[in-house]
A and B are shown apart, each in its own frame.
Chain A
């Protein structure tokens, strides 16, 4: 008696080997897609959106690439998810985490083919991940006590992060920018205080860090272009026509003169409001909403700088850095907190006029102005810089540092290999596979740089046989080099997150032995 189908018509069900195969294939496909972007000589990808305009993004940021893909394979979706989370949590290592998870699965596939149960593989992987983590912990360098050294560590990390991005030509310049910006934050991870403004034109080298706050707005006509010792009122209020908010109110008049009268009253009301604002004793007024000509004129008369239509983020940030409060009513001037800054002036970047607030109360804030040839370059530069900033701000909190260039992977691989030798039972195969997956990362880095990966990795492995070696792949000269001398460092936190979440994702996919896809929801045709 044939089994009747249990599921709905279009639903599919894949079991056992086939299901595992589907998830391996999906995950490995994603890994292969992204793996060429890994390392300092990694290549970029062009992403074209399917939406209107076919906007183009050029990037080698793993999270950005994966975010833009439309994937149907459930295992691939898991990988995309971990890359996103890596981005949110530590900001960098988004490619590495996917590549490592993919390599782990690739090794697992071989083991499954050799008839080892997935659960055995998982428990082996878990032991290996724990061992790898403790191997890293033993080798971390912590320069928290020594501020000078720590700063150079940060600088190295920033350079390493940036070297795989579009900014690699000017990485010293940008690393300095990023480190300066993060040091200003004094340990907080609130990256909101760092504002990035992109202005096309000039070259990437012309980008600079500004100690202060830049608002991408123009100063109203006839108002002072430069104010010293500014007192700033940050407001969110209607400065166009102040509507009557009582429901159902409307104007009904029977003669032209009455219209004029009411118009006069309205004007009077606005004038009063402006007077009240001026009474705060300010010389700069920033509003989130529009300021119409009439009040603007009044402000100009009073010699007050009025800035209209600042976006919400801008307002909040301005309030934060100048220490003022966002006001909406103006009846009690004495109790409203005003913001302060030393100088407000209009500056020119390229062809655009911007307003620059310098000497603000909160010293943490700063602005990075990025210049570059095109929007694509600027977008990619912003992403790269964001990565660097994230990594640095996380490193400031967790000051442990590792060397880079495949060094941590080799250290982990060595320890894990040792563990495999000591472990009895089938698990040792899985542990060994874990170490192979780790070695795959330096291999890919070398491959992407067009080097002879087999030779290099073999040399590297030999070099690591000695205790306390600092050998890693020097992509520039194409040989094995001393990472400590070359100044290639990475943050421990990033490496740890890569290791743990890659293992977790691989585990999640390995545990699956059945995929059930429900019938796609029928969409009604709108005819």
Chain B
């Protein structure tokens, strides 16, 4: 730790408890930061692309997650280094904003850092590098816009959307039935999408999973599922044209909040109280009946007697439904949540075309399906799968696919995948570099090299010769002036991504480049790291 001295030569303490802190400065700090960032990128590099490998993550409690989703890996890795945390943030913000390409963005940032390190060694100032990167990223984003394609789809023509979702899903473990899942995702997004406003509220799509069955059994439900069953085993399992009373009050005698006592001192009082009690139950059920409800969904429990009375009056009921689910049901069925029996009126009932109970496997699991709701925009994707890890991974994959479909609805421009967009940008940036006077030129060229690293990683993960393949594709692109050539990861036999139908969203790609550049700029600008040393 460097010490400062005052004019008399005495040591001068600047930081509080200075000797207990470690401090890295200048080029040292930058190099340490870069190597930390690169280390994170290296972990993710092998997960990129359709042939990317998975990681096993064991959480602090011993649970196992198997995934190749970049954001999930970083999230669960529980990193300690500050710069590594920045990379985690980077992947997370890509996840929030776009939902897909979370691995790519980190790999991109890692490559940029790698290039920056070399430039630093040559003595170029970090700020100049950062500025060069900024210019290069602008060129790349513009170029992407230039090579992007609009593509058409409508409520009836969903095939292009399904294709895009399939590209996303093909890198996940669920790629065995990617077609089925892609179709489900697209249908789910379209059913909640507002095509005029080009907006999709993903909150309306609930993704639920249950262990058991096959991945192929995954289905899209136009409605809501609740992990509950009817309160009485003999209530009807299926209700058509249900009118649903959504209650937050228990089927029990009232419990006033104020402290009170009812004293029983005579036999008469005892009997009146008993009668009163019976009347309560009768009244409650009667009120539901009067309002015309054919199904009662209640947040609380029922007394045995109330349960039987409901059963007796042929009024099926569900108890102990969680608050969130209750709200969802209320939204979907267009009903109102009623806190008191007195306020129950026919207008406040929710409506659903079909409510049914479904049981699974050899175990006794039951779920309640509420379908064909009045406000049918809420949908549920119900995932089945071999084991819990599979379901969790499928949930993440579906989330990615949903996000992609949403992005396409917002903005229907696409670029071709398989690294073709990166290669094309790299060529464009390289060509533009020569026009810039000054040191930035070097940074811009470095940026072009960094762009190459994504297709390179793709080729490497697919078991191809990275340098050979890349140079071949690049020369092909320049020779034929066709930006659609990419890495043939699946060994199909053609390099033309247009024929392979591999594409990604334009905003996703642009966002990747912008976010990666931003983070790298941030890391490069740090020249002093002060941290408490290990005690």
Contacts and interface: CB of A to CB of B under 8 A. Distances in A.
Interface residues of B, number: 81
B56 A516 contact: yes
A220 interface: no
A484 interface: no
A520 B60 contact: yes
Contacts of B363: 88
Contacts of A462: none
B379 to A, nearest CB: 27
Given A91-B362, A192-B364, A249 B386 contact: no
Given A252-B263, A328-B304, A513-B53, A518 B77 contact: yes
Contacts of B386: 81-82, 85, 501, 504-505
Contacts of A50: none
Contact of B35 (A3, A248, A518, A519): A3
A316 interface: yes
A329 B387 contact: no
A184 to B, nearest CB: 17
Contacts of B304: 236-238, 328
A3 B35 CA distance: 6
Contact of A88 (B68, B255, B362): B362
Interface in A372-396: 390
B76 A518 contact: yes
Interface string A47-91: 000000000000000000000000010110110011011001101
A262 B264 contact: yes
A466 interface: no
A326 B64 CA distance: 43
Contacts of B390: 504, 508
Given A6-B39, A246-B277, A117 B463 contact: yes
Contact of B81 (A5, A74, A192): A5
Interface string B225-258: 0000000111000000000000000001111100
Interface string A311-344: 0000010011000011111001001100000000
A213 to B, nearest CB: 16
Contacts of A261: 266-267
Nearest to A116: B463
B264 A245 contact: no
A269 interface: yes
Interface string A5-23: 1111101010000010001
Contact of B55 (A238, A254, A514, A518): A514
Contacts of A254: 265
A387 to B, nearest CB: 11
Interface string B295-317: 00000000111011101100000
B274 A244 contact: yes
A232 to B, nearest CB: 14
Q: Which of A320, A332, A514 has the most CB of B within 10 A?
A: A514
Contacts of B349: none
Nearest to A507: B173
Contact of A75 (B43, B56, B59, B276): B56
A259 to B, nearest CB: 10
A120 interface: yes
A524 interface: no
Contact of A78 (B51, B66, B233, B277): B66
Given A6-B81, A78-B389, A512 B51 contact: no
Interface of B (DSSP majority class): mixed
B213 A89 contact: yes
Contact of A251 (B265, B281, B388): B265
B449 interface: no
Interface string B262-296: 11111100110110110011000000000000000
B200 interface: no
A332 B267 CA distance: 26
B212 A85 contact: yes
A362 interface: no
Interface in A254-269: 254, 258, 261-262, 264-266, 269
Given A7-B78, A236-B304, A258-B265, A23 B56 contact: yes
B23 to A, nearest CB: 14
Q: Which of A19, A118, A265, A521 has the most CB of B within 10 A?
A: A265
Contacts of A517: 57-58
B53 A514 contact: yes
Contacts of B262: 246, 248-250
A110 B40 CA distance: 30
Q: Which of B265, B362, B390 has the most CB of A within 10 A?
A: B362
A72 B62 contact: yes
A353 interface: no
Given A81-B389, A512-B54, A4 B273 contact: no
Given A78-B387, A265-B271, A390-B362, A519 B277 contact: no
A515 interface: yes
B84 A6 contact: yes
B203 interface: no
Q: Which of B43, B64, B276 has the most CB of A within 10 A?
A: B64
A252 B277 contact: no
A168 interface: no
Contact of A516 (B28, B77, B234, B266): B77
B308 A248 contact: no
A9 B388 CA distance: 29
Contact of A7 (B79, B260, B265, B270): B79
Q: Which of B253, B280, B303 has the most CB of A within 10 A?
A: B253
Contacts of B256: 247-248
B204 interface: no
A271 B267 CA distance: 15
Interface string A261-293: 110111001000000000000000000000000
A513 B46 contact: yes
Given A91-B362, A513-B46, A516-B77, A326 B54 contact: no
A3 B36 contact: yes
B393 to A, nearest CB: 9
Contacts of B36: 3-4, 6
A329 B312 contact: yes
A250 B265 CA distance: 9
B305 A328 contact: yes
B39 to A, nearest CB: 5
Nearest to B61: A521
B261 interface: yes
Contacts of A335: 312
Contacts of A519: 60, 78
B462 interface: yes
A237 B305 CA distance: 7
A8 B78 contact: yes
Contacts of B79: 6-8
Contacts of A501: 386
- Please give me the 4 A-B residue pairs with the lowest Cβ-Cβ distance, nearest first: A328-B308, A521-B60, A513-B53, A81-B387
Given A74-B58, A258-B266, A332-B312, 14 more contacts: A78-B387, A85-B386, A88-B362, A245-B303, A248-B256, A253-B264, A254-B265, A335-B312, A505-B386, A508-B173, A511-B66, A514-B55, A518-B59, A520-B60
21 contacts: A3-B36, A4-B32, A6-B81, A7-B79, A81-B387, A82-B387, A84-B387, A120-B463, A192-B364, A237-B304, A245-B253, A247-B256, A251-B265, A258-B265, A262-B267, A326-B308, A329-B312, A508-B66, A512-B66, A514-B55, A519-B60
Interface of B: 28, 31-32, 35-36, 39-40, 43, 46, 51, 53-62, 64, 66, 68, 73, 76-81, 84, 173, 176, 211-213, 232-234, 252-256, 259-267, 270-271, 273-274, 276-277, 280-281, 303-305, 307-309, 311-312, 361-364, 386-390, 461-463
Interface of A: 1, 3-9, 11, 13, 19, 23, 72, 74-75, 77-78, 81-82, 84-85, 88-89, 91, 117-120, 126, 189, 191-192, 236-238, 244-254, 258, 261-262, 264-266, 269, 316, 319-320, 325-329, 332, 335-336, 390, 501, 504-505, 507-508, 511-521
